[in-house]
Structure 1
Amino acid sequence: MGDIDYILYMADISRSGYDRITEIGKSSNKKKACLILVTPGGDPDAGYRIGRALQHYYEDGFSVLIPSYCKSAGTLICIGANELIVDDKGELGPLDIQLNKSSELGEKTSGLDLPQAFEALKTEAVKIFRETLIDVRMGGRVSTKLAAEVATNLTSNLLSPIYSQIDPIRMGEIQRANFIAYEYGKRLNEKYKILKSNALGKLLLSYSSHGFVIDRKELKELFKNVRKPNTHEEIKILTKIQDLVIAFENGNDHNLVMNANLFLENTENEQQNADLPSTSGLQANDNPECGGENPGEQIDSGSSEIEAEYDSSRSDQESELPQAANE
């Protein structure tokens, strides 16, 4: 696949994925990589290490090809790239750290949940206070001071039971997690500076859910180098991995992290062989479409039964030819 390592990563972002990326990078002599990334997200520490590893092993940088969804820690890896290649079905998500739910074993919660809950409560508190103040002041013909006291007490009594359910330790944990994502993003962006001004803060705080879709058009407002796949990438890469992507999207395939160069080359060779006419029993110089290095080089001898049938057919045809004139 030329001078580029094509690395296929279809899995959660994890330490084991980072270990595999490190193995690929150490064993390569290429200067550039293209990470084909499909992931629901995962460990931000591992995402940071993957981005750093790709920057380290590939001195000419790495691009990220996004054929499907790429969320959370996957978005973090993209910040370390020097180019994003986003297919029509490709999408990123916000830089949203996933945390273990304290009440449910094995389930995750978004790092955006609690901050957004606070924002919603703040908005509701202001609304209740304002409406109560106006109603009491204008409708009851009382002083503004008294109306403000009534509005304050009502707002506090309505919302304090909700605020009391918030765990301050959990709030601190979420704030730290979001701060970690910000710091990792800032460090990964230092090398190629792919993010536009204020984009990191937007990726952290401007989206309402973990699964929020940031498509190619919107990504161009956040990242500097974003483009659609060219014809070569469409034909040589995306068409060859589409079955793998569909299987992963549907949950029918296991995690996959590998150097995809050999896979893409083998897939291309299989397609080319499928398009060629049968060459059983023919020599390379008998068929100008089948190039052999040496004249008379056998391309495909076929099975003994096919050879016997071919020889028998040829003998029958020769017996039907007219006799030579001198006979």
Structure 2
Amino acid sequence: MGRAERLPLLQQIEAERQSAVICYFTGDRENLGTRIAPDVIRVFYRHLLALGPRPRIDLFLYTRGGDVLTPWRLVNLVREFTHHLGVLVPFRAASAGTLLCLGANEIVMGALGELGPIDPSVANAFNPEDPANPIARLPVSVEDVMAYFSLARETAGLESEDSLAAVFNRLVDKVHPLALGNVHRNYALIRSLARKLLELHMPAEEDGRVTEIIKNLTERLYAHNHMISRREALQEIKLHVTTPSARLEELMWQLYLDYEADLKLLEPFNPVALLKPQEYSVDFEATGGIIESIPCLDAFIFNGTITRESQPREGAPPVNVTFTRQGWRQLI
């Protein structure tokens, strides 16, 4: 790990922000990524205990998303140790990462910083089968289902109860009713979570702004991979976004680049390349995520074995990858 190079950067960021900083970095390396998940809660608790209560705590965040329930638990945990939570976004904080940002008093976005919509896709046993793989289930986008009814009403001009009932029955013919029920639950859930996170720091008289932010991050963004820039987050979404000083922006980007290099985000995880021509099998260890503060360091580590296929089938990979362990490991 490049902790020796990162500690001075963390110390300088803390001095600039007059805060304690915890870095939460979920890697998106091709074939070896990690996402926001509930298993980080106890890891964060260890870091927070080591830091102790602070007037200000900043979360340095990089993520493509993950479990939508974790941000609510994590934000509430961090707020047990501080009254002012900031999130530093040097680059990506998408989906569940954006939900985390909603719970912060302040979102500090670099020039390359980007947030994303909070409209989830849901999958369960009742979702439609994947035609390419009957064992798998296709995820159903919550906002796609709502947009289907908007299409019927606003574009096709269907208003009568009979017409809308026919539209609904057509959907039920393609998607199991229990899958649609799950979509509705998640439609309500994501709005409830967003509201609760915003209300942690926004006064009651700003209820209208809270409602606008939620609409802006759900139904008014028409693609889940839409990238919300700093300007859009501030001016159009109406979030509590601030621009870092030139010095802070430089430090944030240097810290991001160190994590990017350490987790090899620009190099796809290629098991074939790890197995030498004369080897039948080889063990490997790779880091997929980091939670780091000045007193503590934890890493999400994958361990496994790569085995060469003795008679590879046509079109199949020439090696097998078996993961023997994956999870957070305390390093310091």
TM-score class, shorter: 0.5 to 0.7
Conservation of the 8 A alpha-carbon contact between 1:5 and 1:259: no
Conservation of the 8 A alpha-carbon contact between 2:50 and 2:295: no
* 1:239 aligned onto 2:254: yes
Percent of matched pairs sharing the same residue = 20
1:57 maps to 81
Deviation, 1:117, is 2.6
> When you count strand as a share of all residues, which structure comes out higher?
2
Structure exhibiting the larger radius of gyration computed from Cα positions = 1
Q: Please tell me the residue identity of whatever aligns with 2:45.
A: T
Q: Please tell me the residue identity of whatever aligns with 2:97.
A: G
Relative distance call for 1:214 and 1:237 in structure 2 (3 A) is closer
> When you count helix as a share of all residues, which structure comes out higher?
1
Q: Could you list the runs of 5+ residues in structure 2 that have no partner in the other structure?
A: 1-10, 27-34, 131-135, 270-285, 298-332
Distance in 1, Cα, partners of 2:267 & 2:140: 22
Deviation, 1:156, is 9.4
Q: Please tell me the residue identity of whatever aligns with 1:258.
A: I
Deviation, 1:79, is 1.0
Moved more, 213-222 or 21-30: 21-30
Q: Please tell me the residue identity of whatever aligns with 1:199.
A: I
1:45 maps to 69
Deviation, 1:16, is 1.2
Conservation of the 8 A alpha-carbon contact between 1:14 and 1:46: yes
* 1:74 aligned onto 2:88: no
* 1:10 aligned onto 2:19: no
Question: 1:10 is paired with a residue of what secondary structure?
Answer: strand
Conservation of the 8 A alpha-carbon contact between 2:56 and 2:82: yes
Relative distance call for 1:203 and 1:251 in structure 2 (3 A) is farther
Alignment equivalent of 1:226, drawn from 237, 241, 259: 241
Conservation of the 8 A alpha-carbon contact between 2:22 and 2:291: yes
1:256 maps to 289
Distance in 1, Cα, partners of 2:46 & 2:138: 30
Structure having greater relative contact order (Cα 8 Å, sep ≥ 6): 2
Task: Give me the CA root mean square deviation.
Answer: 3.4
Aligned positions of 1:297-312 closer than 5 A? none
Q: Could you list the runs of 5+ residues in structure 1 that have no partner in the other structure?
A: 131-147, 265-327
Q: Please tell me the residue identity of whatever aligns with 1:217.
A: R
2:151 maps to 120
Alignment equivalent of 2:224, drawn from 184, 196, 210: 210
Distance in 2, Cα, partners of 1:182 & 1:122: 22
Deviation, 1:32, is 1.8
Conservation of the 8 A alpha-carbon contact between 2:86 and 2:105: yes
Question: 1:164 is paired with a residue of what secondary structure?
Answer: helix
Conservation of the 8 A alpha-carbon contact between 1:68 and 1:245: no
Relative distance call for 1:262 and 1:39 in structure 2 (3 A) is same
2:32 maps to none
Aligned positions of 1:183-194 closer than 5 A? 183-193=192-202
Deviation, 1:177, is 1.0
Deviation, 1:172, is 1.7
Question: 1:255 is paired with a residue of what secondary structure?
Answer: strand
